[in-house]
């Protein structure tokens, strides 16, 4: 695979702002996206988890367009990513945004607790029940 149209600059910028290993992904909504989105919120470089997530999503959109422009992916990937971004960030009322932030925070906490409890139970030979 090539360096994309932006010669990996989008990936380097994302990792510089968030932390090494938090890469932008195309294909919003998949498992990789959710794992990196969660990591971006945890690193919280803008001291506001919601704004940090927004900036991370902008990097994902740039990355999706990057691979589209260089021909590594097609419009079948980029245009759904563009629509996902617009739906998530541009077609939402302030009260819906607050509700989504609360729900996202609860989901993130749930995942963090599962990781901690499963990791702790694995030390003693147990697992998630």
Per-residue pLDDT of 99-119, as tens digits, reads 999 999 999 899 889 888 887
User: What's the CA gap between 65 and 73, in Å, rounded?
Assistant: 9
Domain match, 62 and 101 both: no
More confident residue, 124 or 104: 104
Range of the domain at 105: 92-129
Residue 129: the pLDDT is 43
Domain match, 54 and 113 both: no
Q: Reduced to 3 states, what is the DSSP secondary structure of residue 17?
A: helix
Please name the residues in contact with 17: beta carbons below 8 A apart, sequence gap of 6 or more.
45, 55, 59
Burial class (CB in 10 A: 0-12, 13-18, 19+), 127: exposed
Total domains in the chain come to 2
User: What's the CA gap between 104 and 110, in Å, rounded?
Assistant: 10
Q: Tokens 């290993």 appear where?
A: 21
Domain match, 96 and 117 both: yes
User: What's the CA gap between 15 and 27, in Å, rounded?
Assistant: 18
Domain match, 34 and 69 both: yes
Residue 75 pLDDT > 60:
yes
Per-residue pLDDT of 57-68, as tens digits, reads 999 999 999 999
Domain match, 70 and 51 both: yes
Lowest mean pLDDT among 13-22, 74-83, 120-129: 120-129
Domain match, 101 and 85 both: no
Domain match, 36 and 70 both: yes
């Amino acid at each position: 695979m090539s360096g994309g149209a932006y010669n990996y600059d989008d990936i380097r910028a994302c990792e510089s702002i968030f932390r090494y290993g938090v890469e932008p992904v195309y294909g919003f909504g998949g498992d990789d996206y959710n794992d990196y989105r969660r990591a971006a919120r945890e690193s919280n470089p803008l001291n506001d988890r919601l704004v940090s997530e927004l900036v991370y999503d902008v990097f994902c959109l740039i990355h999706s367009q990057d691979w589209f422009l260089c021909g590594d992916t097609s419009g079948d990937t980029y245009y759904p990513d563009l629509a996902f971004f617009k739906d998530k960030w541009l077609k939402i009322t302030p009260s819906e945004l607050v509700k989504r932030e609360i729900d996202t925070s609860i989901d993130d906490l749930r995942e963090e607790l599962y990781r901690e409890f499963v990791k702790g139970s694995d030390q003693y030979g147990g697992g998630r029940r």
